[in-house]
Each structure stands twice: as C-alpha cells, then as structure tokens.
Amino acid sequence: MTATTSFHTCPLCEATCGLELNIEDGEITRVRGDRDHVFSRGFICPKGAAFGKLVHDPDRLRRPLVRDGDTHREVGWDEAFAVVEERWSAVVARHGAASVAAYVGNPNAHTMSGGQYLRPFLRSLGTTNVFSASTVDQMPKHVACGFLYGDPLAIAVPDIDRTDMIVLLGANPYESNGSLCTAPDFPGRLEAVQGRGGRVVVVDPRRTRTAAMADDHIPIRPGADAFLLFALVHVLFADGLVDLGRLADHVVGLDDVERLAKDFPPEAVAARTGITAGRIRALARELADAPTAVVYGRVGTCTVEFGTLASWLVDVVNALTGNLDSPGGAMFPLAPHLRRRTPAPGRGFVTGRVASRVRGAPEVLGELPVAVLAEEIDTPGAGQIRAIVTVAGNPVLSTPNSERLDRALASLELMVSVDPYLNETTRHADVILPPTDSARVGHYDFSFLALAIRNTAVYSRPALPPDPGGMDECDILARLTSITTGRGADADIDGAHDAMLTGLIAKATGDGESVIHGRDPAEIAEMVEGLTPSERLLDVTIRTGAYGDGFGVDPDGLTLATLVDNPHGIDLGPLQPRVPEIVKTTSGKIELCPEPIAADVERLRGALDTPAPELVLVGRRDVRSNNSWMHNVEVLVKGKPRCTLHVHPDDAERLGLADGAPARVESRVGAVVVDVQVTPDVMAGVVSLPHGWGHDRPGTRMRVAAGRPGVNSNILTDEAAIDPLSGNAVLNAIPVTVSPS
Ligand SMILES: Nc1nc2c(c(=O)[nH]1)N[C@H]1C(S)=C(S)[C@@H](COP(=O)(O)OP(=O)(O)OC[C@H]3O[C@@H](n4cnc5c(=O)[nH]c(N)nc54)[C@H](O)[C@@H]3O)O[C@H]1N2
Ligand SMILES: Nc1nc2c(c(=O)[nH]1)N[C@H]1C(S)=C(S)[C@@H](COP(=O)(O)OP(=O)(O)OC[C@H]3O[C@@H](n4cnc5c(=O)[nH]c(N)nc54)[C@H](O)[C@@H]3O)O[C@H]1N2
Ligand code: SF4
Ligand SMILES: [Mo]
C-alpha cells in the first residue's frame, strides 16, 4: 500500500480552501484543512471534508453515455463524439446555427477548463442563444459595475480583515461561505471584526446563523433592499454626511444621485421595507461615523425584482461614505492572472446588442437570461432552439418555472451534456460526456482569486493520477470545439491545444499593454512550461500578469513553476486602492449615476405605492449542500431533513399549518407539497424553501439523492419575473399561497 499526502484547492465553493488529502492506493482516504495554506489556514467545511466521497462517488459517470430510448448506455469516447458530430451537424444543416444553444452552470467558475476552454467553445457555436447560471445569480452586480466602472468584472469586495463595520444584505456566509467575496473562514473573519471592537450588521428576512452572530439583525421585507439603500443615500445627503474621500476627483454624477434619492426618505420606505425610519437613519449615521465601514450585498439583493438597482446602491453607499476603494471598505482585488491597467478612459459598458427572440429580453455580457430559455425552445418560429449543449449545469433544478424547462428540454432534437452525473437535466441528453473528477486535474481559480479579500496566488497540480479511460474537461471542450468549427470529431486534439497556446501568446505580444508586447512569439513559446495544455496556458497568463516574471523582465516575478513550488499558496498582501487604474468608462470617471440605471428608478418609485403581497417565498442555503449536485453523498444528506418549508408561528397558526405536516405551496406557475417546519427564524409573511432539491425524476442515476429527494423550489419561481436591466431571474419574494395538504 502506498500512502501519500497531497494539497489541493477545494473546488466546491467560492472560499477556495486548501485541502490536505491523504491518498492510499489511488483513493482519497482522509481530508483535512491545510493548516499551512496562506489563505484558509486549516479551515474547511463539511463539504470540503467530503471531497473524497464526491470524487469516489460510485454514481459518478466515468465514461460517456448515449441515449437509447428511455435509458442511457455506456459507450467509448470516440463513439460518443461521433454521435455528437453527426447529429449536431444535422441540426445545424436543417435549422441553421441560430437554432443551437448552450447553458453553462456554476461549476465552470471552479474549473480550469471553464476559465480557459469554455469561451472559445461558446464562440464556436455561432449562436446568440447562450445562457448561464449568472442570470439566476450575480448578473445584476455585473451590470451595476459595468455601468459604474466601465467593466462588469470590476467588482469591489468587502475588506473584511480591516473593516470596523460590515453590513451584510441578503448574504449568509455562515452557510454559503461567501460569494463574490472569496474569504476562507468567512465566519471566523466576521468574528474577528467583532473581536477588534467592530460591528457586524445583517439585513435578512430570516434570522440566519450569520444574523444570530451579528451585533444587529435587521429583518427586511423580501425584495425591498433597493428601498432601504436609497433611504440610506437620502439620509447621507440630507444630513451632510457625504464624503467621497480620496475618490472625490474620480466620481461624476453625485448631484444626480442626490436628486434621485430625494423621493426615498426613510419615512417613505418604512412600510415597504418593514424597517422603521429611525432605524434607517441610525444605520446611515453608523456607516458614516465608523472609521471604516462596508456594505456587502449578495444573493438576496441580486435575485430580486430590483436586483441591479440594489447592487448599484450598495456601491453608491460605499462611495458616499468614503469607503469605496479604501482599506476597510470595498476594494478591487488584483489576482495574479490579471494585469494592472493604464489609467485612461475605456470603451464603457453596453447591453442589449441582441435581444431574445420571443420576449425581446436584452443580451447582457454576451448572454440571454436563462428565464427565457424554455420559451425559446417551446415557441415555434424561425430561430427556435432545437439543440442545446449544457456544461456543468442543472437548470431543471436551478432556474425558474423549471417544470416548463423540463418539458421543453424533452422536446429538443438534440441535447449534449458535459457533466459527471445523470441527473434531472442530463437525463434529457442524447449524449453525456463526463469530465474526469476534480482531483485528477489541475486547479487554479480564475473567478475567485479575482474576488478575494487578499491578493493570493495558488495553483494545485492534480492530486490523483489520471483515470486511464477518463477525459479531462479541457480535452472534452477542445474536441467539441473541433466538431462545432467543422474540423471534425477526429481532429488532432494536440493541434487544438497548441493553437490555443499560440493564440494566447500572439494576443499578448501584439497587445501594447502587455509586458511582452513586441517580443517574438516563437521565443516566448520556447520558454513556456507546464505538464498539460492547461498548465501551459496558465504559465503564459501568470507570467504576463500583474506579478509575473514577464518572461525574463522581472526574474523575481511569478511563473507557473513558482506556484507549483508553493502548494500552500503565495500571499501577495492586502488589497490596494485601484482607482483610477481600474476605471474603464468612456469618461474615465466612476459614473455614480449611469443613465440606464437612473432610468430604472422610476419603476422603483412606482413600486413604493404597490402593497407587498401577503405571503412571499424566499430561498436559503445549508452548509452541507451546494446548489443541486451534492445530495448524492450520504454524509452530507444524512440526519434531519433539510428541504422543509420554514413558516413563522403566526403564519402557521393563521394558515392552519402544523410543524412536520405537509403543506401545499402554490405560485402563479406551479405547486409543490412539502413538510412544514415552524420557526420564529423567518419573518411573519415570509416562507422559505431551499433550492436544488427535487431528485425524484425518473431516468436519473443518483441513488443517494433519490432516497431523500426533497422538492424543487423552482417549480414555484416565475420565469416571467426578471430584473429588466440584467435579465436576472427573480428567485426571492415570490408571491405564494400555503395551505395544509
Ligand atoms: N430558487 C433558487 N434558485 C437558485 C438559487 C437560489 O438561491 N434560489 N441560486 C442560484 C445560483 S446562485 C446558482 S449559481 C445556480 C446554479 O445553477 P446550476 O449551475 O445550473 O446548477 P448546479 O446545481 O450548480 O449544477 C451543477 C452541475 O454541474 C455538474 N458538475 C459538477 N462538477 C462539474 C465539473 O467539474 N464539470 C462539469 N462539466 N460538470 C460538473 C453537476 O453534476 C451539476 O449537474 O442556481 C440558482 N438557482
Ligand atoms: N452551503 C452552500 N454554500 C454555497 C451554496 C450552496 O448552495 N450551499 N451555493 C454557492 C453559490 S452558487 C452562491 S451564489 C453563494 C450564495 O451565497 P449567499 O449570497 O450568502 O447565499 P444565501 O445563503 O442564499 O443567502 C441569501 C440570503 O438572502 C436572504 N434573502 C432573501 N431575500 C432577501 C431580500 O429580499 N433581501 C435581503 N436582504 N435578504 C434576502 C435569504 O434569507 C438568505 O439568508 O453560495 C455558494 N455557497
Ligand atoms: S468552505 Fe467551500 S472551499 Fe472551503 S472546504 Fe467548504 S466547500 Fe470547500
Ligand atoms: Mo451562485
């Protein structure tokens, strides 16, 4: 028996914790937190501890499946790609490239293939029907930042380790471990804020674990954060508390924000938010008075009717209190794969370059809202979607009115899924291409190091040897790209990888802003190191990045090899101010009151007078779960049932609901029956159900999950309801009725 220890970044959530893996005979036998990890320092959660179980899950697919009537049968890789090629080209020949679509899900943000091979693949499809989990998640933040800073990826994160006060809106990091804010051991870091005399305030309709630890929990009516934030802005102006600090010369639009905020005094929003005017005024003053303070909004502020407005106002409040781009406030990370920019105006941010066929919903960041996917499939006409590729997504559980989508997917001429599970979505696929597990591939966090509260560099080499019959997701996507670009399923895959590398180098040598501008691409190519195509691409990215060696320019700079030599990561220090360098608006200034956002304020003003529905549904997360796909691991799902409907005791009494008894929950689009859990931890007038459950569909192969199926909360969410600026689905504050079942 051979026993070894290996260090690997946990790929399961945004916290990017370092794992210490014990490996015996090719099996992960024990997982602990890596105590020497520069960022996570030994912290892990129950999901990270179950990483080995997930990797070795017997239900995990290791070979491709092809549909045979109502079942799937295992085939070889060549056969699977041949089927894809034949049927894909047939659909394109019959209906044109406009009839194909792609849906890409959350785990793409956690894989190197997602960071390196996905974009080229999506572009190769030649369709505007590109959908992703971003429009059931954070798209409002991208849109707000796109307009504010000219760059939708310029997202400021709370500088938790240095702040004196943090206000969390619609975020529950004690369960989620944080999002759009990579901070391993987020709970410990919040406790440290309190430990040094600072304050933690949580605004949430539920008394979450995060709310329970906070110095102050402010319950809010779901969907009302934009009102609360506007009232804070109102008070900051009215009481003369606005101080832009260092950003004064870099901001335009201040007067316009002040003018818009006039309509939202605390008294006007008190009823709609459920928060007294006095409390709102006090909060504004606390934010202004704290030496440093930061407002942080997440899922509860994004997946709502006014998601973009709320996301914008979070940054506005941080700016007005002098806390934007300032230590202890909200700051812009500089990850090793990114570059410092030359301060200069940019091209700005636009949306709506195309619109969806049926509803006319505007494109954002090159994609359409996933809320329109079902109608694009089930509405006949030119441009109707006839084929789809899903990569790492389970939209049948994760997107609104999922029963309609479930039916729509069943009607397609062709569906191909790149996914390791036969689940609620992939059961509709004609071909399933399962990538090898994440312990067998390298790991670098393109998405999350760019959202980290400290600048950090970490790369993990594969922890386990390759599965001889398995396929790396980079290879799967490269082969699919060969098919969709007409080079064919049999095209030389090494050639495709080499072309990617040559392209990346050529882009850098031809880019006036790159450290290797003007160098000979052949000379650079000679210097590139790495054991896999993915590593070689990463080497180029790191070496031309903010801390890179520039291929000899700075001998002390980072290379892939430096990262490989430091498996516990390299700490690059606390975040540094980045304005104006980061700003890419056409004016070169932070546009505090962008015109498209200002235009949406009228809708918010109108909603002030609309009475809120009597009972609304919100979601919730549990630390042992992650969206839809970790319910097949026994240790994560055993124990008390987690998919229950939380109901406040007053509502339970009023509606005749008993603890533990089933209730029928009904919305405009659907109904589910689920067991009630009566708890004072949810506001009266609000019920809560987690998403990602509903594992009772036939034709899946997730035996543990099927034993505790739960119900799919997205049967209740309404695909008609989207935030107009971002196209993001409304997944919180869904009007429902509840009755005993
Ligand atoms: N009602 C409600 N709905 C929600 C939310 C909510 O709060 N409330 N949250 C939303 C949010 S924030 C998100 S991000 C979405 C998530 O939406 P999705 O991304 O559509 O769903 P996931 O459940 O994350 O599904 C991930 C899929 O990827 C597969 N997978 C896992 N690892 C890999 C891998 O390495 N490679 C590949 N190719 N596949 C892999 C899994 O088997 C699974 O099929 O759900 C959203 N839906
Ligand atoms: N354990 C676990 N961890 C996860 C995931 C998971 O499914 N499970 N998913 C991962 C993903 S994809 C993401 S995007 C992140 C999300 O990370 P978070 O944003 O922290 O997500 P949630 O835990 O859903 O917290 C959202 C909170 O918003 C509250 N809320 C609902 N409506 C409103 C509202 O209108 N206003 C306010 N102020 N609050 C509201 C809910 O009660 C809930 O407590 O978590 C990631 N980490
Ligand atoms: S908090 Fe996230 S990254 Fe850390 S161990 Fe848990 S799942 Fe993995
Ligand atoms: Mo998410």
- Atom 18 of ligand 2: nearest residue by CA position: 171
| Size (the chain), residues | 741
**Is residue 171 within 6 Å of ligand 2 at its C-beta?**
yes
CATH architecture of 613-740: Beta Barrel (2.40)
Nearest to 667 by CA among 721, 612, 715: 715
Best probe residue, ligand 3, of 17, 39, 622 (max atoms within 8 Å of C-beta): 17
Q: Would the pLDDT of 575 be above 70?
A: yes
Q: Which ligand is nearest the CA of 392, by number?
A: 1
Question: What is the spatial distance between Cα 646 and Cα 641, in angstroms, rounded to a whole number?
Answer: 12
Which residues, chain by chain, have CB under 5 Å from ion ligand 4?
137
**Is residue 625 within 6 Å of ligand 1 at its C-beta?**
no
Q: Would the pLDDT of 491 be above 70?
A: yes
pLDDT at site 609: 86
Q: Would the pLDDT of 366 be above 80?
A: yes
Query: Could you check whether 139-332+578-606 and 613-740 share the same CATH topology?
Result: no
- Ligand 2 midpoint to CA 578 (Å): 28
- Ligand 3 midpoint to CA 38 (Å): 15
**Is residue 436 within 6 Å of ligand 1 at its C-beta?**
no
**Is residue 421 within 6 Å of ligand 1 at its C-beta?**
yes
pLDDT at site 195: 98
pLDDT at site 612: 86
**Is residue 10 within 6 Å of ligand 3 at its C-beta?**
yes
- Ligand 2 midpoint to CA 300 (Å): 6
pLDDT at site 717: 98
**Is residue 105 within 6 Å of ligand 1 at its C-beta?**
yes
Beta partners for 20? 7, 32
**Is residue 508 within 6 Å of ligand 3 at its C-beta?**
no
- Ligand 4 midpoint to CA 272 (Å): 27
For 197, other C-beta atoms within 10 Å of its C-beta total 7
- Atom 2 of ligand 3: nearest residue by CA position: 13
Going by pLDDT thresholds of 50, 70 and 90, the confidence category of residue 620 is very high
Q: Which ligand is nearest the CA of 228, by number?
A: 2
Angle at 482 between CA 476 and CA 488, to 5 degrees: 115
Question: What is the spatial distance between Cα 504 and Cα 528, in angstroms, rounded to a whole number?
Answer: 12
Whether residue 161 contacts residue 188, with contact meaning beta carbons closer than 8 Å, is answered with no
**Is residue 626 within 6 Å of ligand 2 at its C-beta?**
yes
- Domain spans in the chain, listed from the N-terminal domain onward: 139-332+578-606, 613-740
Kindly give the number of the ligand 3 atom that is closest to the alpha carbon of 33: 5
pLDDT at site 611: 85
CA dist 494 → 440, 491, 528 (Å): 19, 9, 16
- Ligand 1 midpoint to CA 396 (Å): 10
- Ligand 2 midpoint to CA 630 (Å): 16
Best probe residue, ligand 2, of 141, 172, 206 (max atoms within 8 Å of C-beta): 172
- Ligand 1 midpoint to CA 393 (Å): 5
3 state DSSP class of 15: coil
3 state DSSP class of 390: strand
Q: What is the DSSP annotation of 618-672?
A: E----TT--TTSSTT-HHHH-SS----EEE-HHHHHHHT--TTSEEEEE-SS-EE
Q: Which ligand is nearest the CA of 173, by number?
A: 2
Beta partners for 415? 388
**Is residue 630 within 6 Å of ligand 3 at its C-beta?**
no
Q: How much is the average pLDDT of 432-453?
A: 98
Q: How much is the average pLDDT of 446-465?
A: 98
Condensed to tens digits (0 to 9), the pLDDT of residues 278-325 reads 999 999 999 999 999 999 999 999 999 999 999 999 999 999 999 999
- Look at 610 and 109; give whichever has higher pLDDT: 109
3 state DSSP class of 32: strand
pLDDT at site 591: 98
CATH of 139-332+578-606, one of 3.50.50.60, 3.40.50.1820, 3.40.50.720, 3.40.228.10: 3.40.228.10
Cis, peptide link before residue 735, omega less than 30° from 0: no
Condensed to tens digits (0 to 9), the pLDDT of residues 20-42 reads 999 999 999 999 999 999 999 99
Q: Would the pLDDT of 265 be above 70?
A: yes
**Is residue 170 within 6 Å of ligand 1 at its C-beta?**
no
Condensed to tens digits (0 to 9), the pLDDT of residues 113-171 reads 999 999 999 999 999 999 999 999 999 999 999 999 999 999 999 999 999 999 999 99
pLDDT at site 1: 63
Q: Would the pLDDT of 259 be above 70?
A: yes
Going by pLDDT thresholds of 50, 70 and 90, the confidence category of residue 2 is confident
Q: Would the pLDDT of 240 be above 80?
A: yes
Mean of pLDDT over the chain: 97
Best probe residue, ligand 2, of 621, 622, 731 (max atoms within 8 Å of C-beta): 621
Kindly give the number of the ligand 2 atom that is closest to the alpha carbon of 208: 44
Q: How much is the average pLDDT of 195-224?
A: 98
